Amino acid sequence: MTKRILYALLLTGAPVIAMAQDHKDSIALTKKRNVARVQYGVASYYHNKFEGRKTANGEVFTQKGMTAASNTHPLNCWVRVINSRNKKSVIVRITDRMHPQNPRLIDLSRSAAAKLGYTGRGLTRVKVEYLGRQKPASDSVAEDNK
């Protein structure tokens, strides 16, 4: 919706529900730190062609790392991703952004996807829990990454 339409709706008292569907909205939300603590959606994993390329935070991507791309979480934050099918979970750091028109919630490294047990399927339904910018305690990371 354009700003003019939103303004008109607000003036008339009509309820407005705004969702971060496009890239600009999702980036704006993460800059304001209005990140939902729990989100549900579909996870995919990085294609091999991205191996060795720079990520949005400037790091070089590797499939062996426990990293992910997201359009709704701030860069360098930590999230727990839980596979809805088998309840396996991993903790990953958000280091990259996805294409703005990508409808998926999160894109994991192949290593993280393998620990969740969905590399054969390519996609899976997940629950993503925002953990914050501080690295989780080492025992919780080790426990999740078994």
Note the pLDDT tens digit of each residue in 49-72: 777 889 898 898 888 999 999 999
CA distance 87 to 77: 22
Q: Nearest CA to 53 among 11, 100, 92, 97?
A: 97
CATH match for 36-144 among 2.70.150.10, 2.40.40.10, 3.20.20.60, 2.30.30.100: 2.40.40.10
Closest CA to 102 of 146, 138, 71, 61: 71
The pLDDT value given to residue 138: 63
Q: How far apart are CA 103 and CA 46, in angstroms?
A: 14
Specify the pLDDT at position 22. Answer: 35
Write down the residue that tokens 């359009």 correspond to. Answer: 71
- For residues 83 and 90, give the distance between their C-alpha atoms in angstroms, rounded to a whole number: 9
- Mean pLDDT in the chain? 77
For residue 120, the 8-state DSSP code is T
**C-alpha neighbours within 13 Å on the C-beta side of residue 88:** 11
Q: What pLDDT is stored for residue 128 in this prediction? A: 96
pLDDT at 53: 84
Cα separation, 58 vs 89, in Å, equals 26
Task: Note the residue count of the chain.
Answer: 146
Residues with pLDDT less than 50, the chain: 1-3, 5-30, 146
Q: In this predicted structure, what is the pLDDT of residue 33?
A: 56
Q: Give me the pLDDT at residue 36, please.
A: 79
